[in-house]
Structure 1
Amino acid sequence: MNANRSTSLYSSIYAYNGYKRYQWVANQARKLPENTRILDVGAGRGRYRELFTHCAYRAHDFGQEPGTIGSYTQLDYESDIISIPVPDESFDAILCTEVLEHVPEPIKAVHELARILRPNGTLLLSAPLGSFLHQEPYHFYGGYTPYWYEKFLPEAGFTIQSIDANGGFFRLFGQESMRFSALIDPRRTSRSGLLWVGLTLLWIVTLPWMRVLLPLLGVFLDRLRLEHAATAGYHVVAVKK
């Protein structure tokens, strides 16, 4: 097994949320014809730019406090998401992943995406069902359910083609078990004495389960599709009417 395949296998188990989202975007990108005009809204560091080399890719973000949020890719447009400075129907496709939780007015944002997308254009959208606070103070919402998309996307003029969960309960539980292990890592605390000893013992005893076995078990249990009401988030494909 080469290094790339080993890395992909590791990521698919132990960093599945971002990995599966990247694979979903890659699959959708392959469906787009050459020279498709696509806007990556909230592009951030431009993680997906490399997937759209066959397209006329443009990047947008609001460009605030890059030191806090992380460095940006080269931006073609810098603005609030509810007022992107382009004419109506400027793009054939729009990509907007893990952005809506950082937007004060997400419903207005969806309407703006509809404005700049041509009829029959494709919207690729994702947002978390739940997450820890991140990119603070620009984190306003969580809990984007299928019902949110089913209500507000049609109101903005979209027809939904698919809404797919990014893993189910067991994958999510495996992800959070790794977070649990990281949070109780005794190297994270300046405490000493018996409390530190107890924490260290707990961390050592649970480490194989929390960091290795539970995430791996989650891969197999998730295939049974016993529970998908708990998920990292949803991947949505919609078309403008």
Structure 2
Amino acid sequence: MQCGHYRGRAVHALFMNKSLGSLLLPDSFHERMQVERWHVHEFIRKEAMPLMKPGIKVLDAGSGREQEQYLRKELLATGATLHTCDFCEGPGVDFVADVSDLPFEAASYDIVLSTQVLEHVMDPQKVVSEMARVLKPGGKLFLTTPQSSPLHNLPWNFFNFTNLGLRLLFDTAGLKVVKEQAQGGHFTLLAYQLHWTLNVLRGLSLPGVLKKPLILFWQACFGFLFKVILIRLDRCDPDPLNTQGWNFLGEKPESGNPA
């Protein structure tokens, strides 16, 4: 994996590929608008963090560097012992290793986190089995990964996963699936795709006199106004099969040692 006026600030941010919302919105509301990450963050906050306390050992497998560890401060604030592991060294990375070959003894951790990593590995089954191996009996794996995502981190983007595929990976690794949760439904995915269109527009060969107003219009409409509407509509989606991805909670049996 390879490694101050609002108007003036907003326009400058736009053409520097920065987010208007980060300048204009309260932090909590701005985070909610980041539809590609919000469901993942809320899953970890609501399902994993309440289990963390002093004496609990947590491994963030495929953590990325410190600037990519969006929940780092919140995880550390729980008092749990947090170890980070990534293929690339850098600030905030405790162990440099491949997540398919973790440098830890079996049954070392109470909790393993793996957020938006599995799509970047060559052997997903080996990785899930390896994370199961380092879990203590009764330990829990919190794993999130895309089902629908543009190609990114090229060339290290190998798979997208359905919930059925993830169940198969967990079952083969000897993990009981305790919870599976869609990362939003159709309208969240639509909000993300419309916002992603900004990346496409920035790459178009258009004269600046046309391109800059088009980007400004698109960001205002689909980066904010329509996104608010779509997020609310998403609450009405009864069967979110057309989703950005999946959040899974797996538990290692109290007896036995999978992988």
The interval holding the TM-score normalised by the smaller chain is 0.7 to 0.9
Q: What does 1:48-197 correspond to in 2, within 5 Å? A: 48-53=71-76, 54-63=79-88, 72-142=90-160, 144-185=161-202, 188-192=203-207
Distance change (3 Å), C-alpha of 1:125 and 1:205: closer
**How far 1:8 moved relative to its partner?**
1.3
Runs of 5+ unmatched residues, structure 1: 67-71
**How far 1:199 moved relative to its partner?**
5.8
% identity of equivalent residues: 25
Secondary structure at 1:184 match in 2: helix
The whole-number CA distance in structure 1 between the counterparts of 2:184 and 2:220 is 22
> Alpha-carbon deviations, 1:75-133, whole Å to 9, x = none?
23212212111111111110011111110001011111111111100101001112122
**How far 1:206 moved relative to its partner?**
5.2
Aligned length: 225
Partner of 1:213: 225
Task: Indicate conservation of the 8 Å contact 1:94/1:123, yes or no.
Answer: yes
Are 1:236 and 2:248 counterparts? yes
Partner of 1:45: 65
Distance change (3 Å), C-alpha of 1:101 and 1:215: same
Runs of 5+ unmatched residues, structure 2: 1-22, 254-259
The whole-number CA distance in structure 2 between the counterparts of 1:106 and 1:184 is 33
> Alpha-carbon deviations, 1:46-80, whole Å to 9, x = none?
413222221111111112xx7xxxxx333232122
The whole-number CA distance in structure 2 between the counterparts of 1:150 and 1:41 is 19
Distance change (3 Å), C-alpha of 1:201 and 1:161: same
Query: Given the two structures, how large is their TM-score scaled by the length of structure 2?
Result: 0.78
Partner of 2:37: 18
Q: Give the partner amino acid of 2:101.
A: S
Task: Indicate conservation of the 8 Å contact 1:43/1:73, yes or no.
Answer: no
**How far 1:235 moved relative to its partner?**
0.9
**How far 1:43 moved relative to its partner?**
0.8
Q: Give the partner amino acid of 2:41.
A: Y
Query: Given the two structures, how large is their TM-score scaled by the length of structure 1?
Result: 0.83
**How far 1:11 moved relative to its partner?**
2.3
The whole-number CA distance in structure 1 between the counterparts of 2:156 and 2:168 is 24
